[in-house]
Structure 1
């Protein structure tokens, strides 16, 4: 019985899956099984899987119900004490499993541990964009405000998933967010503040589509129906951050008007957000697109990420 079960939904992404699986097989921690959950995809998945020689890799088929249902199928088949999720878009740093297993072994009360991530650029090389998170300890309040946990960075105790149940396949979006909230309501969380995951932004990635992300707002209603009365006060702030996230997604698709709409909605729910750094940055970004064009916006954004990375590196080198 493997210590870790790695679950990879295979969703017509064979070109990415090969590199993704390679990043798992190159882990410094080797006591794992890999469950690739496929459906009736048309990308020669079976032929490719038949060529695999590593006995730790297993191909499981299920009725095509999407990535979330595939994760649930993987959980049901998993034998490991710990579950790690990995999407076919993403890659792992070689020490990811080792560091997360050690953390859970050293901290038996922690239910979930995740990591920072690095975004891959269009050439599939690490960019200067690093996403960090402060969702740790009693992380319920942080996660109710906004989702700060990326699925491919998560390792969770199998026992925790047995307690909270499956991912909700009835949600069109942010099923992972709903799951992290459920876990955080029962168990402490932790974050390894190192970029151990590489996240690839594909053009057909639903996370790039802000129209689908609007489903998050429906999710919020469901989430807050089950929280204690003392946490209800976070509801408006949660709606505010969700709308601000939608504003950025709309802007990344070049839609200034929609970005302004979501920004106004965000401020309406949480007026103090108007003076936040995030809101000021959004105003600047909208102005850049309006007066200089979308290409200039992407260049400025790239430069900003580069400068931020260099400053962070300099700070880290300070004695």
Structure 2
């Protein structure tokens, strides 16, 4: 019997992109698939557009706005697949992505094997996506995978994964308390619930960077509380797999990487971060600041310098998106 793959898509105000995302899911050459879209209370035309794609193997669910993690949990609760493909409502899959990964999965004998793949970043035109390999693009043991994330500050787009039902059940649901770094926390559990990660270089996903995304730096109290909780949970997962001097150093490095979110204005949370680093046997240093923003910090303080950096980063990204839009072919129905 052929393996059923569930493609799960949470969507919120994604009217500009949901059509292309659903087309990339429907165009998968792996025929035995179901697609579940959960509209999380969108205020635009996302739900209407998604419903125009409904058919026997594509279901659209609507709920009041509860957040991305809640929408993903709803999709997972109704999924029937043996394998789970997560896909954000603005990202894309190469047509043969699932076919390559399912084949690799079925060739793996025994154990909880987790399948990863390659991803490229694009703004408007996926034909110009940039694929930048890094040290996670290979077969790895779970502890080594999480260790490298901590020490190298690298990331895997959620769409790269093909997750077996057994691993998904062992990992548990998405944590609905989290609004920031929810994917980092969830996939740390997924990785920790596996026995081996197999990398499939032919399986390609496309990550659309069309807005500020992580560059927006959600520095609200709620966002920073979510980030701290996520970091605590991610550190717990790595230490469950391997509690050694090298993994504790890696966890301190992870805290240092994200310290900028808390420093210096989130004093209560900052004390917790410093305390956690101390428990791990390490210390944290003042986050680095490019020379360009040192005068702003000197005159107006750290918060103003961080805001200036965000504005410049966002302006650069907006310019790249506009340029890519101008260069995009006039025919929208591109193919890989």
Q: TM-score, normalised by structure 2?
A: 0.68
Distance 1:47 1:127 in 2: 29
State the match for 1:126 in structure 2: 128
Q: Give the CA deviation at 1:114.
A: 1.6
Match of 2:161 among 149, 154, 163: 154
Q: Which residue of 2 is the match for residue 137 of structure 1?
A: 140
Structure 2 vs 1, CA of residues 88 and 270 (structure 1 numbering), >3 Å: closer, same or farther? farther
Partner of 1:201: 209
Kindly state the Cα deviation for residue 288 of structure 1 after the two structures are TM-superposed. 8.1
Does the residue aligned with 2:188 lie in a helix, a strand or coil? helix
Alpha-carbon distance in 2 for matches of 1:41, 1:229: 39
Correspondence for 2:230: 219
Is structure 2 residue 178 aligned with structure 1 residue 171? yes
After superposition, where does 1:12-51 map in structure 2 within 5 Å? 12-51=13-52
Once the two structures are superposed, residues 52-82 of structure 1 have per-residue CA deviations (whole angstroms, 9 ceiling, x without a partner) of 2542110012332111111111110000100
User: What is aligned with 1:77?
Assistant: 78
- Partner residue, 1:67: 68
CA 228–65 in structure 1, closer or farther in 2 if over 3 Å, else same: same
Corresponding residue of 1:114: 116
Q: Partners of 2:256 and 2:83 in 1: how far apart?
A: 34
Deviation at 1:30, TM superposition (A): 1.5
> Match for residue 96 of structure 1?
97
Distance 1:116 1:142 in 2: 15
Q: How many residues align?
A: 278
Q: Assess, with a 3 A threshold, how the Cα gap between structure 1 residues 123 and 138 changes in structure 2: closer, same or farther.
A: closer
User: How far did 1:220 drift?
Assistant: 2.5
How far the C-alpha of 1:106 sits from its partner, in A, is 0.8
Task: Go from structure 1 to structure 2 and tell me whether the alpha carbon gap of 1:96 and 1:66 turns closer, same or farther (over 3 Å shift).
Answer: same
3-state SS, counterpart of residue 231 of structure 1: coil
| Uncovered stretches (5+) of structure 1, i.e. residues with no partner | 250-264, 275-281, 303-319
Q: What is the aligned partner in structure 1 of residue 243 from structure 2?
A: 231
1:240 equivalent in structure 2: 253
Q: Given the two structures, how large is their TM-score scaled by the length of structure 1?
A: 0.71
CA displacement 1:13-51 (0-9 Å, x = unmatched): 021000111111121112100000113212234432443
C-alpha separation between the residues in 1 aligned to 2:241 and 2:89? 39
Give the whole-Å Cα distance in 1 for the aligned partners of 2:157 and 2:49: 28
Residues 113-149 of structure 1, C-alpha deviations (whole Å, 9 max, x = no match): 1212111035565243525452643122331443633
What are the ranges of 5 or more consecutive residues in structure 2 without an aligned counterpart? 262-273, 295-308, 321-336
- RMSD of aligned Cα (Å): 4.0
* Aligned mates of 1:175, 1:213 — CA distance in 2: 12
